[in-house]
Chains A and B, each alone.
Chain A
Amino acid sequence: MEFPEDLKYTEEHEWVLLEDGIVTVGITDFAQDSLGDVVFVELPEVGTMVEEGKAFGVVESVKAVSDVYAPVSGEVVEVNEDLPDTPELINTSPYEDGWMIKIRLTEPGQVDDLMDAEQYQAFVEKE
């Protein structure tokens, strides 16, 4: 199970990478492993406003449907166009090729409230 040091994490098992006021969002290695084979991903359109804590998309495995929640508020500026055709990227590369959306932050302070890798790993071990 990987917990990259440069990312921030939510209790809903999303990860966030902050670069120049834009965050990239995906689901964690732990989340993809728990879900099993991902077969479908539903993403918002570019330009959608998302709100911290509200669902912005859906990841479906063979057996289960899971909402994905926005870790921060802001505008969706890019979505991963590869996911609709190759949703298994979420399983094979959760932190890189399997990223889901990029959000331009409207409240930059929100990222500071998220867990770091060490905290998230401890959180997962308790689950």
Chain B
Amino acid sequence: MLKQTPLNAAHKRLGARMVDFGGWEMPVQYRGVIEEHLAVRNAAGLFDVSHMGEIEVKGEGAFAFIQELTVNDAAKLVNGQVQYSAMCYPHGGVVDDVTLYRFDQNHFLFCVNAANIDKDFAWMEEVLEEGGFAGVTLRNRSNEFAQLALQGPAADAILARLTATDLGKIAYYHFYEGLVGGVPAIISRTGYTGAGGFELYFAPEAAEKLWDALLAAGEADGLVPVGLGARDTLRLEMKYALYGHELSPEITPLEAGLGWITKLDKPSFIGREALVKMKQQGIPRRLVGFVMTEPGVPRADYPVLAGGREVGVVTSGTMSPSLRVGIGLALVESGQAAVGTDLQIGIRSRQVGARVAHTPFVKQNS
């Protein structure tokens, strides 16, 4: 039996094509991936992301626990700020990538990937028990939150119609607790599209009401419901990592291009020793963005070649709706990672030309 979000019936009423996404019955598209993708880039889109997990950390030792658990420096966070981070195993592979919300020094909330909720919670419990962090309580609150992402250049104008909160006050990667359509919500200026906008967390009972209110408020601006198909093409155009593709227990954050969140100068965190060693010895593989120079659509797991020799593998690929050309991410030998390097992608029986490209593939607006 697939898990359902509180908006399952709403999606079906809108004619969404539903698919099994990591054990959740989720909309992959409503009217078409390309149309939905372009709506987010040019106007606005509304995503049901209630399948994502929320894990709360509270108590006196919360900050110390988070510093040990995650690779980014939680000391940089102030109240009301969000941080992109990751949890690693001792060998440096990734447990999950997360966003971390700081309410105060003793109160944090993790947003984690849907398919990893149970695994992440078990890992956090293990770290908590072994680490001797006094006075920390962990709660898996995933069932207590619905989550919507309102993304796109019109997102501010649309959301402003439903809230008295001064959205101009909420900086990128910051949040505010306010009312949206009369519903208490965490209003967070975050997202996974590079198109700007907000993510909203609130009680599941209010999900349909808020979903309908947002769609109505944004109709004149071209707001449309957007499925997971376009969520994937949008994030790929930004080179945002997707767990299970660009990140996994077999891929370190240094290889995945997340050195910018991996604070090796922090005195201690799980995985630090392995990552320091990897950096000293030389990072063997790098995540690169590439653009096809010949017709073809790259897909995950296709081999990457250079001069006829296999040098890596595609982790994600698609036809970019914005650029109308095949784009992808690949883990390749570090020597083949420089922008401008010519590669070939093994697409069925052909070797099709590609070139390592600057990323993000499209200009960011957030």
* B33 contacts chain A at the CB level, 8 A cutoff: yes
- Bound CA span A127–B32, Å: 22
* A84 contacts chain B at the CB level, 8 A cutoff: yes
Taking a contact as CB atoms under 8 Å apart, the answer to whether B34 and A37 are in contact is: yes
Taking a contact as CB atoms under 8 Å apart, the answer to whether B319 and A62 are in contact is: yes
CB distance from A59 to the nearest CB of B (A): 11
Interface residue stretch chosen among B154-162, B171-179, B294-302, B338-346: B294-302
With beta carbons under 8 angstroms apart, the residue of B29, B34, B232, B297 that contacts A60 is B297
* B259 contacts chain A at the CB level, 8 A cutoff: no
List of A residues within 8 angstroms of B233 by Cβ:
62
Within 8 A of B (CB), among A35-72: 36-37, 39-40, 42, 58, 60-63, 65
List of B residues within 8 angstroms of A37 by Cβ:
32-34
- Bound CA span A60–B326, Å: 11
Q: A58-B348, A62-B318, A62-B321 are in contact. Are A36 and B296 (CB under 8 A)?
A: no
CB distance from A67 to the nearest CB of B (A): 10
Residue pairs across A and B with CB atoms within 8 Å: the count is: 35
Taking a contact as CB atoms under 8 Å apart, the answer to whether A62 and B33 are in contact is: yes
Within 8 A of A (CB), among B269-307: 295-297, 299
Taking a contact as CB atoms under 8 Å apart, the answer to whether B32 and A84 are in contact is: no
* B229 contacts chain A at the CB level, 8 A cutoff: yes
Q: A62-B33, A63-B28, A84-B295 are in contact. Are A39 and B319 (CB under 8 A)?
A: yes
CB distance from A32 to the nearest CB of B (A): 11
Closest residue of chain B to A65 (Cβ to Cβ) is B299
Closest residue of chain B to A84 (Cβ to Cβ) is B295
Within 8 A of A (CB), among B76-102: none
List of B residues within 8 angstroms of A61 by Cβ:
33
- Bound CA span A84–B326, Å: 13
- Bound CA span A36–B36, Å: 12
Within 8 A of A (CB), among B225-244: 229, 232-233
Q: Is the interface of A mostly helix, strand, loop or mixed?
A: strand
The contact size tier of chain B is 10 to 19
Task: Give the total of A residues in contact with B, Cβ under 8 Å.
Answer: 12
Closest residue of chain A to B324 (Cβ to Cβ) is A39
List of B residues within 8 angstroms of A40 by Cβ:
295-297, 319, 326
CB distance from B242 to the nearest CB of A (A): 14
- Bound CA span A61–B233, Å: 12
Within 8 A of A (CB), among B316-332: 318-319, 321, 326
Q: A60-B297, A62-B229, A63-B28 are in contact. Are A36 and B348 (CB under 8 A)?
A: no
Taking a contact as CB atoms under 8 Å apart, the answer to whether B32 and A39 are in contact is: no
Closest residue of chain A to B35 (Cβ to Cβ) is A37
List of A residues within 8 angstroms of B348 by Cβ:
42, 58
List of B residues within 8 angstroms of A58 by Cβ:
348
CB distance from B188 to the nearest CB of A (A): 28
List of A residues within 8 angstroms of B32 by Cβ:
36-37
- Bound CA span A58–B299, Å: 14
- Bound CA span A39–B320, Å: 9
- Bound CA span A62–B233, Å: 8
List of A residues within 8 angstroms of B297 by Cβ:
39-40, 60, 65
Taking a contact as CB atoms under 8 Å apart, the answer to whether B33 and A63 are in contact is: yes
Taking a contact as CB atoms under 8 Å apart, the answer to whether A60 and B229 are in contact is: no
- Bound CA span A108–B239, Å: 51
Within 8 A of A (CB), among B9-38: 17, 28-29, 32-34
CB distance from B258 to the nearest CB of A (A): 26
List of B residues within 8 angstroms of A65 by Cβ:
297, 299
List of B residues within 8 angstroms of A62 by Cβ:
33-34, 229, 233, 318-319, 321
List of B residues within 8 angstroms of A84 by Cβ:
295
CB distance from B295 to the nearest CB of A (A): 6
Chain B residues close to A by CB (< 8 Å): 17, 28-29, 32-34, 229, 232-233, 295-297, 299, 318-319, 321, 326, 348
Given A37-B34, A40-B297, A63-B33, output 10 extra A-B contacts at Cβ < 8 Å.
A36-B17, A36-B229, A40-B296, A60-B319, A62-B34, A62-B229, A62-B318, A63-B28, A63-B229, A65-B299
14 inter-chain pairs at a CB distance below 8 angstroms, sorted by A residue, are A36-B17, A36-B32, A36-B33, A36-B229, A37-B32, A37-B34, A39-B34, A40-B296, A42-B348, A58-B348, A61-B33, A62-B34, A62-B321, A63-B232
